[in-house]
Chains A and B, each alone.
Chain A
């Protein structure tokens, strides 16, 4: 079945540091890929997405490129801020039906210190 693997956390960075959060996936066909963010005490918000190979999703300074050859969708940001402290989830939606579920990675907690 479909699966998503995220790097182990938590991650602690200083403000303005470069961020990379690794995400790889296993799926049949051509899934859509997503990054969701969960700020403390809140629900999930869509951060960015990519629906086909080589697409780059971007939002709020975050970027991720859909790499089919390496089955990866790593999240990057050039300069993190304290306000980026949150839990980040990589997810995929299979391409096997109109109502396919989201399969999530385990999430990684990012803490950014001033």
Chain B
């Protein structure tokens, strides 16, 4: 099946620092989504991307849909303690046709140190 390689697996940063994480695949994706998940809860949608090259912001978060359609990245600026959590990329592969299921990366665990 489709696989998404998400990196890094974990990050420890100081409060106020910027963060960058990315997701790559050997396959082309039509849609990229970024989610944040807190322990014991479901993923919360942060940003959705639909076009190659698209750059979208949501507050301190910015995500881009790679031009090759095989990658995406998420930036968080000026991190704060509540940014702690697991960030997942997810995509809808172009090879799946009208199928609607998302393929998820394995997540980036973010820890923000005071």
A and B co-occur in one complex? no
B interface residues, Cβ below 8 angstroms from A: none
A interface residues, Cβ below 8 angstroms from B: none
